[in-house]
Amino acid sequence: MSNSSLPSSGAYLPGATVKYVIETLLTRIVTQEYASEERLPSERQLAQDLGVARNTVREALDQLEARGMIRRRAGSGSFVTYDPDGEASATSPVAADVGPLQLQVMRGIIEPEMMRLAVINMTPRQIEALSVVLSKMEAVQADATAFVRLEEEFHRLIAEGTGNPLLLACYNLVLDARRQAFRTAMYRRHLTPARIAIYQRGYNGLFNAIAARDIEEASEFMKLSLIEDQRILLQED
Amino acid sequence: MSNSSLPSSGAYLPGATVKYVIETLLTRIVTQEYASEERLPSERQLAQDLGVARNTVREALDQLEARGMIRRRAGSGSFVTYDPDGEASATSPVAADVGPLQLQVMRGIIEPEMMRLAVINMTPRQIEALSVVLSKMEAVQADATAFVRLEEEFHRLIAEGTGNPLLLACYNLVLDARRQAFRTAMYRRHLTPARIAIYQRGYNGLFNAIAARDIEEASEFMKLSLIEDQRILLQED
DNA sequence: CTGTATTTTTGGATTGAACCAATTTCGGCA
DNA sequence: TGCCGAAATTGGTTCAATCCAAAAATACAG
């Protein structure tokens, strides 16, 4: 069946299809569009809805299952196991022992250089992925949990953009610790809508700087983001 | 054996096909039928030989890669990374994908600050532990493998000395990658006795600077050590 | 109304066939 | 000999179609 015609909306998208599915589902989970313990649509249904093959959906679900976000039962369905309020989600053991100040110290070491490397090395496709996350962030500003989760993804994409797997691995530890820290902070209601708006402005500026390949500007915005986190995590106000 | 293509009918074995492939390849690896660093047959070849689809072979290779038994490079092939003689080093999976340059970049980011924090925060007891490792290093200068391992311990103690568990966790990843890189370097016999002597002098100076709480001096020696590693790891031949 | 048998749905596994992108190989030209 | 570009090789990704087995939904007999 040598069929090279791409039927309408792409029947063979280049590279990032699985990632797209993961992102989509992850967003729906953290925004509780698919609530905890709820059943998600069947694989066949998701495939059709998202316009991809079931294989691709499966691959995405495999990874979500590995991350402990869902659980699957043959013949029954896939269910959300991620609990945004619950403290049980899979953080690496080390994350629990990290104090907010230690976290900020480490971020201060790694983030400035990471930002520089990312601005230099990010591909157009990666920048595009960044903008997708950014717009999702704008859509969920009312939900602090979802916002922080997307924020984390934003940072992770930057780390990926450096093209340095070692840096990415290290930064994943940093993000684990940050998630842990923010859980406490949010519990104390320090992440208000007003603050989220401030964050959003910062990330918009950061993205523009990246897209313009402006190293100094990007580095500056990164520092601001770091300082803003510091306000919340170290409760200096 | 299927001469041409396995046509209709029988070609669908229930259940344990992937497991069978994994078992087969695992056996061939540990028996050194596929020796360490050796390239295994292409996925298409394996699929044909084992009478399964390439997808199935891929799934099996995915898992072997996750277990750190093999490493894959697009366009090049899959290579055995498992070394039956090698130390039980439990290298994290990420370490295999880190190039020497990427390693040095990451070290350049983290080590200078780490050194400063360590000089400030190390307890006398930790400094004592450092001196113990240092003297062990002098005793094993003839054995490059042992020397590198102690060197690693020396670095780890410094990371511990910062008192920052997050930094330590990140630096452990760095050390994993460094160990991997040095394995290759030693295989190429770049770590000569003369070089080891140079290292030893560097570490002695570094220790004295730490003991004297001289931040700038320590930072300087740290840089020298980094540059020396660079000579070995980035050497082209 | 109940309990069982049948059908349908759902995840799981495998095949086969593209197409893409990074590498390597190789042939030919200077 | 040395270099460069085309061609072949190789892993990476996605799609489509089956078949299987566990669960759930439904139909039906009692």
Q: What is the 3-state secondary structure (H, E, C) of B194-221?
A: HHHHHHHHHHHHHHHHHHCCCHHHHHHH
Name the CATH superfamily, with its identifier, for domain A93-236.
Answer: GntR ligand-binding domain-like (1.20.120.530)
For B173, the closest of A97, A169, A177 (CB atoms) is A169
Q: What is the pLDDT of residue B203?
A: 93
Q: What is the pLDDT of residue A3?
A: 33
CB spacing of A167 vs B94 below 8 angstroms: no
- The chain-wide mean pLDDT, for chain B, equals 85
Residue A60 Cα, gap to closest chain B Cα (Å): 15
Instruction: Check if residue A7 sits with its Cβ under 7 angstroms from strand C.
Output: no
CB spacing of A110 vs B170 below 8 angstroms: yes
Q: Where does the pLDDT of residue B3 fall: very low under 50, low under 70, confident under 90, or very high at 90 and above?
A: very low
Contact indicator for A122, A161 with CB cutoff of 8 Å = yes
* Cβ-defined contacts of B203-210 (< 8 Å, 24+): B203/B134, B203/B137, B203/B151, B203/B154, B204/B134, B207/B130, B207/B131, B207/B134, B209/B119, B210/B118, B210/B119, B210/B122, B210/B127, B210/B130, B210/B158
CB spacing of A165 vs B102 below 8 angstroms: yes
DSSP A99: -
Domain with CATH 1.10.10.10 in chain B: 3-80
Instruction: Provide, as residue numbers in chain A, all residues whose Cβ is less than 8 Å from the Cβ of B114.
Output: 109
Best A63, A166, A179 member to test B by mutation, with max B CBs in 10 Å, is A166
Q: How far is the CA of A77 from the C1' of C6 (A)?
A: 21
CB spacing of A109 vs B109 below 8 angstroms: yes
pLDDT-flagged residues of chain A (< 50): 1-11, 88, 236-237
| DSSP notation for A176-220 | HHHHHHHHHHHHTT---HHHHHHHHHHHHHHHHHHHTT-HHHHHH
Protein-proximal positions, strand D, CB < 7 A = 9-24
CB-based burial label for B195 (10 Å; 0-12, 13-18, 19+): middle
Name the nucleotide nearest A57; use CA and C1'.
Answer: D14
* Chain A residue with Cα closest to B113: A109
A150: phi then psi, degrees, rounded to nearest 5 = -70, -35
**How far apart are alpha carbons A17 and A22 in whole angstroms?**
9
Q: How far is the CA of A141 from the C1' of C10 (A)?
A: 35
Q: What is the pLDDT of residue B2?
A: 34
Q: What is the pLDDT of residue A65?
A: 94
In terms of Cα–Cα distance, which of B226, B126, B120 is closest to B174?
A: B226
Contact indicator for B186, B169 with CB cutoff of 8 Å = no
Contact indicator for A1, A47 with CB cutoff of 8 Å = no
| H/E run at residue A78 | strand A77-80
Question: A224: which 2 tokens?
Answer: 């601001």
Question: Model-level pTM?
Answer: 0.72
- Is CATH 1.10.10.10 the classification given to domain B3-80? yes
Q: How far is the CA of B114 from the C1' of D5 (A)?
A: 48
Domain with CATH 1.20.120.530 in chain A: 93-236
Among chain B residues 53-82, those with CB within 7 Å of any atom of strand D: 54-55, 58, 61, 72-78
Q: Where does the pLDDT of residue B16 fall: very low under 50, low under 70, confident under 90, or very high at 90 and above?
A: confident
Q: Identify the residue whose tokens are 């730490």.
A: B210
Written as one letter, the residue type at B175 is: L
Q: How far is the CA of B75 from the C1' of D5 (A)?
A: 18
pLDDT reading at B10 higher than 60: no
Name the protein residue, with chain letter, whose CA is nearest the C1' of D13.
A15
Instruction: Provide, as residue numbers in chain B, all residues whose Cβ is less than 8 Å from the Cβ of A117.
Output: 105
Do strands B77-80 and B70-73 pair parallel, antiparallel, or not at all (unpaired)? antiparallel
Instruction: Provide, as residue numbers in chain B, all residues whose Cβ is less than 8 Å from the Cβ of A53.
Output: none
Question: Residue A52: which residues within 8 A CB-CB, separation 6 or more?
Answer: A17, A21
CB spacing of A94 vs B174 below 8 angstroms: no
Q: What is the pLDDT of residue A18?
A: 94
Name the nucleotide nearest B8; use CA and C1'.
Answer: C15
Which residues of A make CB contacts under 8 Å with B?
A: 92, 94-95, 97-98, 102-103, 105-106, 109-110, 113-114, 117, 163-170, 173-174, 177
Q: Residues of chain A with pLDDT > 70: what percent?
A: 85
Q: Where does the pLDDT of residue B134 fall: very low under 50, low under 70, confident under 90, or very high at 90 and above?
A: very high
Nearest-5° Cα angle at B71, B233 to A152: 85
CB-based burial label for A24 (10 Å; 0-12, 13-18, 19+): middle
Name the nucleotide nearest B47; use CA and C1'.
Answer: C15
CB spacing of B174 vs A165 below 8 angstroms: no
A31: phi then psi, degrees, rounded to nearest 5 = -85, 5
Q: How far is the CA of B229 from the C1' of C23 (A)?
A: 28
